[in-house]
């Protein structure tokens, strides 16, 4: 069998995303055939023995895909140095260790995908994948027509401009606003609102691409259907 990058092997094993796997390798936690691994190493999945912290890491057959309705107050990471509750605390009953695909800030709520599929995670979080995310922002005062137009314009975050957003009012006075984002950069909606002098009091992600589940209660999750998984994989490869 053709050799593959060690971090890809670890993601296929359902252990971590590739970025997290790279950190594990760099910290000396991974060995290949008894030797401490280095970044850039490749392995033959059929013949090489890979250990993480002394335990065998083997690729899994099949993956787990979950849709979680994250409540506010949970961080979208596998673990937290400050001891805050994480989305992984909510999915312990899934039977496998899963991690979040992308981020949803601690003070926001709504839908987030959880999986142990490192390949899909990397594809969906790559800037070029293009899958949209839809949010509803409740703001503390009515937004004017000019402000609604401004909210859709690009904003500089981490040294580069975001893609334009699609923005519209959901009520007559403009205190509930829908945002459709293609890139969803760090605190993008909150920063857009701050630029217009608007304060967000509640922010909810209601759709990931075409995936939605208004009946999923906060803090609960469900497995994705086969058709939903197929949709995400097609979206990640440009076949949306």
The answer as to CATH 3.40.50.300 being correct for domain 4-56 is no
Q: How far is C-alpha 188 from the chain's CA centre?
A: 15
pLDDT tens, residue by residue, 11-26: 767 677 778 889 999 9
Q: Do domains 65-128+211-236 and 133-208 have the same CATH topology?
A: yes
Report the topology of domain 65-128+211-236: Alpha-Beta Plaits (3.30.70)
Question: Which two tokens mark 128?
Answer: 């070029």
Active site residues: 105
- Better-scored residue on pLDDT, 85 or 123: 85
Contact between 69 and 220 (Cβ < 8 Å): yes
Q: Which residue has the tokens 């140095």?
A: 81
Q: For the chain, what are the domain ranges?
A: 4-56, 65-128+211-236, 133-208
Structural fold of domain 133-208: Alpha-Beta Plaits (3.30.70)
The two structure tokens encoding residue 39: 């970044």
Dist. CA 224–CA 227, nearest whole Å: 8
Q: Supply φ then ψ for residue 206, to 5 degrees.
A: -110, -15
Looking at residue 208, what DSSP letter applies?
E
What's the rounded Cα separation, in Å, for the pair 218 and 104?
14
pTM: 0.73
What's CA 124's distance to the chain center, in Å? 8
Predicted pLDDT at 153: 94
Mean pLDDT of all residues in 126-142: 88
pLDDT digits (tens, 9 = 90+) for 145-189: 999 999 999 999 988 899 999 999 998 788 999 999 988 788 999
């Amino acid at each position: 069998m053709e050799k593959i990058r060690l971090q890809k092997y670890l993601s296929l094993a359902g252990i971590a995303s590739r970025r997290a796997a790279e950190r594990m390798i760099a910290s000396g936690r991974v060995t290949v055939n008894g030797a401490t691994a280095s970044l850039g190493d490749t392995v033959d999945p059929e013949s090489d023995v890979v250990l993480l912290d002394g335990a065998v890491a083997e690729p899994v057959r099949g993956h787990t895909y979950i849709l979680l309705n994250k409540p506010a107050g949970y961080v979208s990471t596998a673990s937290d140095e400050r001891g805050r509750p994480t989305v992984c605390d909510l999915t312990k009953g899934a039977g496998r260790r899963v991690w979040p695909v992308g981020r949803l800030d601690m003070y926001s709520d709504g839908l987030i995908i959880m999986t142990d599929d490192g390949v899909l995670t990397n594809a969906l979080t790559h800037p070029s994948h293009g899958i949209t995310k839809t949010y509803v922002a409740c703001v503390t005062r009515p937004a004017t027509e000019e402000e609604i137009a401004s909210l859709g314009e690009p904003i500089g975050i981490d040294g580069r401009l975001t893609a334009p957003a699609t923005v519209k009012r959901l009520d007559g006075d403009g205190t509930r606003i829908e945002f459709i984002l293609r890139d969803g950069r760090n605190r993008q909606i909150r920063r857009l609102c701050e630029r217009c002098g608007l304060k967000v009091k509640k922010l909810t992600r209601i759709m990931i691409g075409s995936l939605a589940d208004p009946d999923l209660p906060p803090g609960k999750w469900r497995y994705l259907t086969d058709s939903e998984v197929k949709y995400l994989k097609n979206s990640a490869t440009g076949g949306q």
